[in-house]
Structure 1
């Protein structure tokens, strides 16, 4: 039986490194190149790649790909800058692709 006091965590699907907490989900209504994705206000145990301009569904953004700090698997990206005023809420937040993370303690 799971410890109900343990935090609900998302881990890297490849190595089970903890990368985000359930309570930091900002939205579950995002789409990535390989399917559904979650927008998190915080992520942990990750490494950020170089910043680049990327044209996404919602317009041009400056993003940095994010990788598991333990195994190096690409997990998603961090929004560094949004050019459209309506997209500014994404700045500083993290996209994790659903199929690349695993639920722990749910």
Structure 2
């Protein structure tokens, strides 16, 4: 496979929960209101140190999109997905953007996120 060249980010970062590889900067968060099967997910303008799987059409809550799952380049863990094509006009802003599942990443203060419990508070969204 060869030698891995990882980008190290400076500032408040989100990283892979499994191997701590840097994935995104807090300042690149576009939205914290996305959902996935494990709970909350965040839309990012830029994500690094990931590779994309096969593209596929997927029916999401906001309509049909062409997406590819993204994986940590260091450990291969699934961390989210990337929007390749949005078919509805009001969803075009997502094209080229990536979503990281909160359940799969460590937050900026090094805290791990877990599947939300019913009635649990969510201080990160405050």
TM-score, with length taken from structure 1: 0.91
Distance, in Å, in 1 between the alignment partners of 2:88 and 2:79 is 25
User: 1:102 aligned to 2:106?
Assistant: yes
User: 1:91 aligned to 2:95?
Assistant: yes
1:31 aligned partner: 35
Distance, in Å, in 2 between the alignment partners of 1:65 and 1:99 is 15
Distance, in Å, in 1 between the alignment partners of 2:30 and 2:87 is 20
Report the Cα offset of residue 104 of structure 1. 3.7
Q: Is there any run of 5+ residues in structure 1 with no aligned partner, and where?
A: 1-5
Q: Per residue, is there more strand in 1 or in 2?
A: 1
Paired positions, count: 101
What's the RMSD between the two structures over aligned residues?
1.2
Report the Cα offset of residue 60 of structure 1. 0.4
User: 1:60 aligned to 2:101?
Assistant: no
TM-score, with length taken from structure 2: 0.77
Q: Is there any run of 5+ residues in structure 2 with no aligned partner, and where?
A: 1-9, 111-126
Q: In the TM superposition, what whole-angstrom CA distance separates every residue of 1:42-74 from its partner, at most 9, and x where no partner exists?
A: 000001011110011111000010000000000
Structure having greater relative contact order (Cα 8 Å, sep ≥ 6):
1
